[in-house]
Structure 1
Amino acid sequence: MAVRFTFRQLEYLVAVGEVGTIAQASLKLNVSSPSISTAINQLEGQFGIQLFVRHHAQGLSLTPGGRRVFKEAQRILADAAALSDIADDVAKRPGGAISVGALTTIAPLLSAKYRKSFEAHYPSARVSLFTGDQVALFSRLARAEIDVAITYDMEIPQDVHFEGMIALRPFVMLHRDHPMARQSEVSLRDIAGEPLVLLDLPLSRDYFLSTFRRIGLVPNITDRTNDLSVARSLVANGFGYSLLNIGTDLDLAPDGQRLAILPISEEVGSVTLGLATKQVGVKSAIVAAFFDHVRAEISAHGLPATKTR
């Protein structure tokens, strides 16, 4: 049989058990005596036991079974109060655990740095880091496995809130000895016929290909990889050029070969880097603090180890 009772009924039960009369419980809770009496009767009917012995002109005393229920009711009310305190703490004070996801392509540049600076500002915060492609990050948000995703404004689901932080134009990545490597910028019209090493990640690949389509070009794709480190190595060893969402100052491939990373001369649009969360009415204090922190870091310092134009 399903047992249905309210916290208010338990509150009335505990008050009567503590003071011994309905009249005194009424004064303590500022509730009418009939309301308390009705609640006690309802609980006895629901539980199928007598909770109190009624003494004429001497109040009420708990039965042995009633005392056990009384003690459990006290515990339930205390746990509910503690839960309310935790929720209040989460809502108002930036501390505790926060799970942050970041795109695999930008995680090495941003996630550890922002974790370090955020935990320095909020010593009671504990940041857990995860990486994945755009689709994987949105799936983690939907399953509440992460609180925040550092990502781009591409194909944002309706149930995800995205706040842009900085607009980024794509860059070209070349072998250090490529004939165009000493230029200040590279024209896609000049390089489109050469072998392209495509960073083949969900949504990112469509963005890179649309960069060519905007100016009526079709690239010559000869290699595909979903690993940015592999793309950097392939380019550094002369297998082609590649496109990046972020122009980085880091010009070494994993195998130590040199790279040249240059802006694109044509107007090819941009993507916006920002933070995404599950669509909720009010952010928790720690999530709101993380948004404010990243926004302030980008405003003051830009993105770590990146080129700007």
Structure 2
Amino acid sequence: MPDFTLRQLEYLIACVDTGSVAAAAARLNVSSPTISVAIAKLEDQLGMQLLLRRHAQGVTLTGAAADLLPMARNLLSQADDFGRAALDAGQGVRGRLGVGALSTLAPKVLPGVIRAMAETYPGISVNIREGSQAQIIDTLHAGHLDIALLYDIDLPASLERIPLAAPPAYVALPEDHPLVACGDIALSELVDEPLILLDMPPSRDYFLGLFRAQGLEPRVAQTSPSIELVRGLVGQGLGYAILVTQPESDLTYDGRRIVSRPLRDCPTRSPIVIARPSGLRETRMMTAFAEVAAQEIGGAAT
């Protein structure tokens, strides 16, 4: 494949359009020798003469070059379109933005952020992908997502993070549980009760770690990666749960009511962050999303 540049094609077309190397140089604000050397190199690379140079009469295309000129113009036009699209995506506020989110977090925080994005930046199309932490991180590193909303638990150093909010863990109880009468609840009061464990990394290790930091080992009765199934089992009176994401409704899918109470002894929190691969240049679309997410998530009780 010939190793020519778009700049060489630009010089060639300028010579043809202006009729001389000197006029092309004046139009492009470069020296005549610069254009002459570039076109001579282009001719060597293509293995053909492109311009006929006549003293005091300027330049004209050779017959073979005349056939190639429309393709050269088309290449430059496509390159210009590509540059404008890249500028819009990188510095403008329109284009597609791939956003990932942890599946337990997405239903709580993403709808409001997407609505606010549509109102504030209608030119940005947000493509959503949700999944486990490992899936979202892999997709970020593969370049299929631009940014993601995650909990800042066990995230690799290869991700940069922008903190948004740090919601506390809480206890979810059946509405007729005796501990509902308490204003807040200590882990030691729960340790002998059946725990319905949200079994999704990193939540599982975070919740178990709260107990183990106090030398306690909870009695796990059921596990599920689905926060709604966990809430449903709690609503049926089968145990309690420790959760961070708190839906607005206290009803489960099957219509049971659960009651939330704060943990009395929970010194650690799991911040919600915007994560992106380290070294990835931040675009204006990313900045816009971060600003909206900070307002919608950071400014609300989560």
TM-score (norm. length: structure 1): 0.92
Partner of 1:296: 295
Q: How does 1:173-184 map to 2 (within 5 A)?
A: 173-184=172-183
Q: Deviations over 1:243-297 (max 9, x none)?
A: 1013444211111111111111113411111211222353111110010111122
Residue 137 of structure 1 aligns to a residue whose secondary structure is helix
Q: Structure 2: which amino acid aligns with 1:185? A: D
Residue 72 of structure 2 aligns to a residue whose secondary structure is helix
C-alpha distance in 2, partners of 1:27/1:246? 64
Partner of 2:197: 198
Partner of 1:98: 97
Partner of 1:35: 34
Query: How far did residue 204 of structure 1 move?
Result: 1.1
Q: How does 1:155-166 map to 2 (within 5 A)?
A: 155-166=154-165
Q: How does 1:229-240 map to 2 (within 5 A)?
A: 229-240=228-239
Partner of 2:147: 148
Distance 1:166 1:299, change over 3 A: closer
Residue 150 of structure 1 aligns to a residue whose secondary structure is strand
C-alpha distance in 2, partners of 1:182/1:99? 45
Q: Is the 8 A contact 1:215 1:268 kept in 2?
A: no
Partner of 1:14: 13
Q: Is the 8 A contact 1:165 1:272 kept in 2?
A: yes
Q: Is the 8 A contact 1:248 1:261 kept in 2?
A: no
Residue 251 of structure 2 aligns to a residue whose secondary structure is coil
C-alpha distance in 1, partners of 2:126/2:217? 42
C-alpha distance in 2, partners of 1:219/1:273? 26
Q: How does 1:1-309 map to 2 (within 5 A)?
A: 2-300=1-299, 302-303=300-301, 306=302
Q: Deviations over 1:187-215 (max 9, x none)?
A: 11011111111111011111011110111
Of stretches 8-17 and 246-255 in structure 1, the one that deviates more from structure 2 is: 246-255
Q: Is the 8 A contact 2:112 2:296 kept in 1?
A: no
Give unmatched runs, 5+ long, in structure 1.
none
Query: How far did residue 180 of structure 1 move?
Result: 0.7
Residue 129 of structure 1 aligns to a residue whose secondary structure is strand
C-alpha distance in 1, partners of 2:247/2:23? 73
Q: Structure 1: which amino acid aligns with 2:221? A: T
Distance 1:217 1:268, change over 3 A: farther
Identity fraction in percent: 34
Of stretches 16-25 and 205-214 in structure 1, the one that deviates more from structure 2 is: 16-25
C-alpha distance in 1, partners of 2:103/2:291? 23
Give unmatched runs, 5+ long, in structure 2.
none
Q: Is the 8 A contact 2:108 2:245 kept in 1?
A: no
Distance 1:30 1:104, change over 3 A: closer
Query: How far did residue 231 of structure 1 move?
Result: 0.7
C-alpha distance in 2, partners of 1:95/1:221? 48
Q: Is the 8 A contact 1:156 1:162 kept in 2?
A: no
TM-score (norm. length: structure 2): 0.94
Q: Deviations over 1:22-50 (max 9, x none)?
A: 22222222333232222222212211122
Residue 294 of structure 1 aligns to a residue whose secondary structure is helix
Query: How far did residue 53 of structure 1 move?
Result: 2.5
Q: Is the 8 A contact 1:174 1:242 kept in 2?
A: yes
Distance 1:58 1:26, change over 3 A: same
Q: Is the 8 A contact 1:192 1:217 kept in 2?
A: yes
C-alpha distance in 2, partners of 1:235/1:15? 75
C-alpha distance in 1, partners of 2:29/2:124? 41
C-alpha distance in 2, partners of 1:167/1:47? 61
Residue 162 of structure 1 aligns to a residue whose secondary structure is strand
Q: Is the 8 A contact 2:130 2:136 kept in 1?
A: yes
